[in-house]
Amino acid sequence: MTVDPQSGASGALPALAARGVDKTFRIPEERSHTLKERALHPFKRIRHEQLHALKDISFAVEPGEFFGIVGRNGSGKSTLLKCLAGIYRADQGEIWCNGRMSTFIELGVGFNPDLAAYDNVALNGIMLGLSPREAKSRYQRVIEFAELEEFQDLKLKNYSSGMHVRLAFSVAIQVDADILLIDEVLAVGDAGFQQKCFDVFNRMRDEGRTIVFVTHDMSAVNRFCHRAMLLERGEMVAIGDPTQVADKYLEVSFGRDIGYTDPGEEIPQVGDGAARVIDVWLGENPGERRAVAPQSVPTTLKARVTFNAAVRDPMVTLAINNEQHQSVIVGSTGGEHENSGIFRAGEEAVFAFSFHNMLAPGRYEPTFTVTNRGSGLSVIDRYEGRFSFVVTGSVVSGGMVEVPVQTEIISLGQSALGQKATA
């Protein structure tokens, strides 16, 4: 993280700070929306449902920092942004800012479909904090950036949604605030325009502006943010390194789905029943029961097997299948622990499989098969279709596994064919 404390206009003070911010929405169960109802039932108490949207949030953003706020839907991240922006009043706690602040909850706030680009740029610019003179003098730049020179005389209602968004974004970036609060506006426009947006964000970051950025997009968090914060049910669950926060976010969002299929579902028993896989889990100890395996870290899958009859040298094979039912990783105790010994009836054992997680992000289903060695391989039990986990990560190369690949370019000079061609 490269935060230069001197770059902020106010020296050592944070660009933005919150302490103990708490926000509760009171949602009336049946809304008395008219004077008539209030007059007819003056003593009727309106019951309210309390929605505790933010719980004791404290953090500080340094000047020049690119700070991400991530969280699932309804986690309170937009409420927090609105409290920071001064659109909602926090019930408790304090918020401070140092410098000119501008908020983008939505692009093109105040755009009027019946007016042409010029009037809308002026109006929107003023709403975002420009003076009318500034807004008008930057009109040309706005139109050029939005690539809408040919369409500037059209009324906005005749714009396509993409043109609309381009115009709105172009106005937004004209705002010369020191602190920008941005809510999920990155994912707009076509690929070319999106790249332009990313360039602008990079430029702003390099200019030392402070940016607070609410998003679902973990790759954007990894790309831009110096630090990030994870909100979950109104609480700050994590703050710090963006990659860790992003992983935690993915863990939280998939964690809900615990990964075990409903046990009521009938799964046909395979094998002779001399041993049964009674439990499998992801993680070191059975209590962990993780549903998410972050990419590029050591990962362990374990299976607990109980023996109903004596089994000699049993072998457990793990196959990790992707959503296309292809076995991406297969591991077996057969090689290393060929002679695993005799397990008597009533004994239990845990078979552990550890590997460096190179799986591509997605959902995987591990299958454990217990087999007998000796006269051919006979299946004792198979555990499948009852547990799945999610691999999270931001590296998506397109391959089934994400193996680090070293590349090199060796120049061989002019080839004989090339020489002929140039001759």
Partner 1 sequence: MSTGTISKPLDTPTESLGTAIRGPRALTDDWSRFWHLTYNIALSEFKLKFFGSALGYLWQVMKPLLLFAVLYVFFVVIGHVGKGGKPGEVNYGVQLLGSIVLFTFFTEATSGAVRSVVDRENLVRKIQFPRLVIPLAVTLLAFFNLMLNLLVVLVFALIAGIRPMLSWLELPLILAMLIVFSTGMAMLLSALFVRFRDIQPIWEVLSQILFYASPVIIPVEVVRRDLLHKPFLYHLYTLNPLVAIFQQFRHAMVNHATLSAGQALGSWAALLEPIGVVVGILVLGFWVFNSAAPHIAEDL
Question: Could you list the residues that contact partner 1 (CB under 8 A)?
Answer: 10, 13-14, 17, 19, 25, 33-36, 38, 58-60, 62, 82-90, 94-98, 103, 105-106, 109-110, 112, 114-115, 119, 122-123, 126-129, 131-132, 227, 236-241, 244-245, 248
Q: Which two tokens stand for residue 342?
A: 């005799």
Quote the least distance from Cβ 113 to partner 1, whole Å: 10
Q: CA of 243: how far to CAs of 20, 252, 294, in Å?
A: 26, 14, 11
Quote the least distance from Cβ 86 to partner 1, whole Å: 4
**Phi, psi values for residue 187, rounded to 5°:** -80, 65
CA atoms within 13 A on the CB side of 327: 9
Q: CA of 66: how far to CAs of 22, 239, 333, in Å?
A: 23, 13, 48
- Note whether 188 and 107 are within 8 A (CB): yes
Q: Which CB, 40 or 401, lies closer to partner 1? A: 40
Distance CA 321, CA 391 (A): 12
Quote the least distance from Cβ 70 to partner 1, whole Å: 13
Q: Which CB, 114 or 265, lies closer to partner 1? A: 114
Beta bridge partners of 369: 317, 382
Alpha-helical segments (H) within 207-241: 218-224
Quote the least distance from Cβ 206 to partner 1, whole Å: 20
Quote the least distance from Cβ 128 to partner 1, whole Å: 7
Q: Which CB, 196 or 248, lies closer to partner 1? A: 248
Q: Which CB, 15 or 148, lies closer to partner 1? A: 15
CA dihedral 33, 34, 39, 40 (to 10 degrees): -80
Q: Which CB, 74 or 129, lies closer to partner 1? A: 129
Distance CA 331, CA 316 (A): 9
Distance CA 334, CA 338 (A): 5
- Note whether 405 and 419 are within 8 A (CB): no
Q: Which CB, 91 or 384, lies closer to partner 1? A: 91
Quote the least distance from Cβ 1 to partner 1, whole Å: 9
Quote the least distance from Cβ 25 to partner 1, whole Å: 6
Q: Which CB, 152 or 332, lies closer to partner 1? A: 152
Q: How many helices (DSSP H) and strands (DSSP E) are in the chain? A: 10, 20
